[in-house]
Structure 1
């Protein structure tokens, strides 16, 4: 009578694969750290130059006060634009979060934050934010919920992008609402 030994499963450990993985991780980490260092260094140099910029501009230009005034006005308008855009994006993010919470899509806070961030990307940001959520709703909840998700995104972006945003941008930047709306239509 022969006794058969149970088949031994041989687990092979490949140290070369592990070393390649660790090497890839360290390479990616070094790239991130290098880019972070370069960005921080650039910011430091910008901040160091900011104090001397008006002096250099006065030397370089014939009418420096006018140029400094224009730069200051542009800076104020750019800051005002960013504040208004951030408030609009935050509103979109909150409304999308609430809509997805009502529908029952997983991770509504994540999708609301993604909508907030991608609202800064003109024209395609809202589409990029809506596609993964719609696919998740389709897989998770079915066709009806996916359509409701898309409908929510479309309604929010139409109302905010075509009614609220032109009014706020017009008032905040001292522009005509009609001019803002027509420029959005033309450039969009």
Structure 2
């Protein structure tokens, strides 16, 4: 290879990298528009099978969509009302929580003196102030709900997507340059993402219900709140269930006792073991074909690019990118790098 050819290849690589940086910067700058659209798209993917089931019972598409969206709005309204009640209850219990936290830290101070550590309970209370923790949680929830600031617009977008989905194959056949390959790739991506999101939603719902019921039986306050948190964070791969278990564990340690806290830790550990390591791999198999490292790195990447919603949708977004790479010239090698390293079986 001559020097001019090497120089030309280097320039092409630099140009592609610069183009990628500009695209990513544009996506991050436009995240306020892109995130609601992505959220609406994946909600439409999850809800479309329900619409199809209703249509099989001889209901028209418009009636089926209306029934599904009414149920979704009722569920959202109930959850918002229950979460608001939990926040109000926390505000009322805040003075009691602070006093109990000081008492617990006094015990920690007494134990720390035996290993020559100076711990100030008052300083720790200021740092571990439940009100500060609540402020952090509120900030995270505010970022998460940024995509849902205009709920009506989101719902209308989902409705129009569900209406237009039946016209999508015709449009793609007449719009794409190589429709057979493109439609096959899009169909594969849609099928994989639909399967993942449907099962992930079901497993997350079971997880949230299990957390709520068990915490309720243990007498842990805000059981419903922690159940909803477990449901949402279960969409975040690998670290989501672990993060969901930290707040109820700390709360049980402060408001209850060490035994209840250990039971809470055992609960989340058992749920993560049964659902995360046994049930999900069996039900989902390796349909998405992503390596564990890529799943973890995608969590960081999409979280940086799109915020909390990007973390929740990191796996399906990466899967779509991988499948689309497989159907584009020059993208096959990148798709192999994102894969699980298992050779394809030709049927």
Q: 1:59 to 1:122 in 2, by over 3 A?
A: same
* 1:121 matched to 2:236: yes
* 1:86 matched to 2:213: no
- Report matched runs for 1:35-184 at 5 Å: 61-170=176-285, 173=287, 183-184=291-292
Q: 1:34 to 1:141 in 2, by over 3 A?
A: closer
1:86, distance to aligned residue in structure 2 (A): 0.5
CA distance in 2, matches of 1:185, 1:32: 28
CA distance in 2, matches of 1:58, 1:76: 18
CA distance in 1, matches of 2:293, 2:181: 33
Q: Computing the radius of gyration over CA atoms, which structure comes out larger, 1 or 2? A: 1
Range with greater deviation from structure 2 (119-128 or 44-53): 44-53
CA distance in 2, matches of 1:34, 1:99: 32
Q: 1:35 to 1:98 in 2, by over 3 A?
A: closer
CA distance in 2, matches of 1:88, 1:34: 27
Q: 1:44 to 1:94 in 2, by over 3 A?
A: closer
CA distance in 1, matches of 2:156, 2:216: 42
- Alignment deviations for residues 20-62 of structure 1 (CA, whole Å, 9 cap, x no partner): xxxxxxxx9xx99987798689879988997887677556644
Give the aligned length: 152
- Alignment deviations for residues 106-155 of structure 1 (CA, whole Å, 9 cap, x no partner): 12111111101110112221222111111111111111111111111011
Q: 1:87 to 1:55 in 2, by over 3 A?
A: closer
CA distance in 2, matches of 1:170, 1:83: 14
In the other structure, the counterpart of 1:5 is none
CA distance in 1, matches of 2:212, 2:157: 36
Kept in 2: contact 1:92–1:157 (CA 8 A): no
- Alignment deviations for residues 139-172 of structure 1 (CA, whole Å, 9 cap, x no partner): 111111111111110111111100111001029x
RMSD (Å) for aligned C-alpha atoms: 3.4
Q: TM (normalized to structure 1)?
A: 0.63
CA distance in 1, matches of 2:253, 2:162: 49
CA distance in 2, matches of 1:76, 1:44: 20
Q: Which has the higher contact order (CA 8 A, sep 6+)?
A: 2
Q: 1:185 to 1:100 in 2, by over 3 A?
A: farther
**After TM superposition, what 4+ stretches of structure 1 lie above 3 angstroms from structure 2?**
31-62, 183-188
